[in-house]
C-alpha cells in the first residue's frame, strides 16, 4: 500500500537492526528515505542499495546524532537532496547493561548523549525544519515498563525520550505534526543479542504472548503506520510494540 507517496523520511541509526528495517519498509510504501549512520558506512550503503534495487529512492548520510553540528548538517544535506523532510524517526540508540552501582560516568554519559541528546538534537532541528503535517516517531523501549536489573541508566534515557515526546507533541502540533514513541520489546538485533545467554533470551521470549523474540520487521510495520496520515490523530502517545509483554 503506497500510503507514504510523496513523503521524505529521515531514519537515524538506519545502517543496522531496527532502523535499517524501518528504512527498507518505508520505501515500498512510497517514501524517499535518508539512511543515517554514525560509523557503519558500508552497511548504510547496503541498505540504500537494497532500497534502490527494489525501485525506491534513498541516500546515506553520516552524522553522529549526539553532536549538534552533525545534526544540522544532516538536515541540510537531506533537504538539499530531497527538498524537504516529512517524517523523522529517532531510532539511533545504544545500550550498556550494568548494575547501577557498576555504571561508570562514561557509560552514563555515552547513553544519555546518543539516546537523549540525539533525540533532542533532531527534534529541535525538526521544530523549524520538518515539513508541516509531518510525523515524528521516537524509539523508546518496553524496558521502561519492566524494571529489569542492569537497565537503570538505559531506561533513564528512554524515560526521558518518552517525556520529551509528550511535551513536544503539544508544542509542534499547531503545524499539524504528530509525535509518538514506539516501545519495542526484545528484538533480534546486535544491540539485543550482545552479552545475553541463550537462557536469558528464552526467558525474555517467554514473557510475551507469542513466545518469541520480535524481528525488526515487527517494529518497522508499526513505525510505517505511525508515519502515515492514517495515524494523524495519534499524538503524544507511547505505544508498546511488544506482543503484550507489558
Ligand atoms: N533490539 C531491541 O531489543 C530493542 C528493544 C527496545 C528498543 N530498542 C531501541 O531500538 C533502537 C535500535 O536498536 P537496534 O537493536 O536496532 O540497535 P543496533 O542493531 O545496535 O543498531 C543501532 C543503530 O544506531 C546507530 N547509531 C548508534 N550510535 C549512533 C550515533 N551516535 N549517531 C547516529 N547513529 C548511531 C548505529 O549506526 P552505526 O553502526 O553507524 O554506529 C546503528 O545503525 C535503539 O534506540 C534501541 O534502544 C531496541
Domains and CATH numbers, the chain: 8-232 (3.40.50.720)
Q: Which residues contact 153 (CB under 8 A, 6 or more apart)?
A: 96, 98, 100, 103, 107, 108, 111, 112
Decide if 154 is catalytic.
Answer: yes
Q: Over the Cα atoms of the chain, what is R_g?
A: 17
Instruction: Put residue 77 in one of left, alpha, beta given phi > 0 → left and psi -120 to 50 → alpha.
Output: alpha
Q: What pLDDT, on a 0 to 100 scale, did the predictor assign at position 132?
A: 98
Q: What pLDDT, on a 0 to 100 scale, did the predictor assign at position 30?
A: 97
Closest C-alpha to 88, from 9, 201, 180, 165? 9
Q: Which atom of ligand 1 is nearest to the CA of 40?
A: 40
Q: Which atom of ligand 1 is nearest to the CA of 65?
A: 32
Quick check: 245 pLDDT over 80? yes
Quick check: 233 pLDDT over 70? yes
Angle at the Cα of 94 (from 57 to 211), degrees rounded to 5?
Answer: 85
The CA 91 to ligand 1 mean position distance, Å, reads 6
Task: Give the pTM.
Answer: 0.98
What is the spatial distance between Cα 221 and Cα 215, in angstroms, rounded to a whole number?
11
Q: Which atom of ligand 1 is nearest to the CA of 90?
A: 45
Q: Exactly one of 66, 78, 140, 228 is catalytic; name it.
A: 140
Residue whose Cα lies nearest atom 17 of ligand 1: it is 191
Q: What pLDDT, on a 0 to 100 scale, did the predictor assign at position 1?
A: 64
Q: Which residues contact 106 (CB under 8 A, 6 or more apart)?
A: none
Helix (H) / strand (E) containing 43: helix 41-53
What is the spatial distance between Cα 29 and Cα 58, in angstroms, rounded to a whole number?
13
The CA 93 to ligand 1 mean position distance, Å, reads 4
Q: Which residues contact 209 (CB under 8 A, 6 or more apart)?
A: 243, 244, 245
Tens of pLDDT, residues 182-209: 999 999 999 999 999 999 999 999 999 9
The CA 13 to ligand 1 mean position distance, Å, reads 6
Tens of pLDDT, residues 40-75: 999 999 999 999 999 999 999 999 999 999 999 999
The CA 17 to ligand 1 mean position distance, Å, reads 7
Q: Which atom of ligand 1 is nearest to the CA of 219?
A: 10
The CA 155 to ligand 1 mean position distance, Å, reads 14
Q: What pLDDT, on a 0 to 100 scale, did the predictor assign at position 2?
A: 82
Q: Exactly one of 7, 158, 228, 235 is catalytic; name it.
A: 158
Q: Can you tell me whether residue 9 is helix, strand or coil?
A: strand
Pocket test for ligand 1, best of 24, 60, 92 (most atoms within 8 A of CB): 92
Residues with CB under 6 A from ligand 1: 12-19, 36-40, 64-66, 91-95, 114, 118, 139, 141, 184, 186-187, 189-192
Q: Average pLDDT, stretch 160-179?
A: 98
Decide if 141 is catalytic.
Answer: yes
Amino acid at each position: 500500500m503506497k500510503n507514504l507517496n510523496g513523503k521524505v523520511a529521515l531514519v537515524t541509526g538506519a545502517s543496522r537492526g531496527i532502523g535499517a528495517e524501518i528504512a527498507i519498509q518505508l520505501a515500498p510504501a512510497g517514501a524517499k528515505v535518508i539512511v543515517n549512520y554514525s560509523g557503519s558506512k558500508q552497511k548504510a550503503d547496503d541498505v540504500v542499495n537494497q532500497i534502490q534495487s527494489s525501485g525506491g529512492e534513498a541516500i546515506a548520510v553520516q552524522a553522529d546524532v549526539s553532536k549538534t553540528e552533525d545534526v544540522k548538517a544532516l538536515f541540510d544535506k537531506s533537504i538539499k537532496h530531497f527538498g524537504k523532510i516529512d517524517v523523522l524517526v529517532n531510532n539511533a540508540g545504544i545500550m550498556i547493561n550494568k548494575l547501577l552501582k557498576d555504571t561508570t560516568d562514561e557509560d552514563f554519559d555515552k547513553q544519555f548523549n546518543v539516546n537523549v541528546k540525539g533525540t533532542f538534537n533532531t527534534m529541535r532541528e525538526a521544530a523549524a525544519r520538518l515539513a508541516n503535517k509531518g510525523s515524528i516517531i521516537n524509539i523508546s523501549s518496553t524496558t521502561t515498563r519492566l524494571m529489569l536489573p542492569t537497565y537503570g541508566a538505559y531506561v533513564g534515557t528512554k524515560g526521558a525520550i518518552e517525556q520529551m515526546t509528550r511535551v513536544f507533541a503539544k508544542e509542534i502540533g499547531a503545524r499539524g505534526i504528530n509525535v509518538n514513541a514506539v516501545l519495542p520489546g526484545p528484538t533480534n538485533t546486535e544491540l539485543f543479542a550482545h552479552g545475553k545467554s541463550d537462557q536469558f533470551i528464552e526467558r525474555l521470549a517467554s514473557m510475551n504472548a507469542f513466545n518469541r523474540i520480535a524481528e525488526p520487521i515487527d517494529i518497522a510495520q508499526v513505525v510505517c503506520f505511525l508515519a502515515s496520515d492514517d495515524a494523524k490523530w495519534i499524538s503524544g502517545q507511547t505505544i508498546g510494540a511488544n506482543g503484550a509483554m507489558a
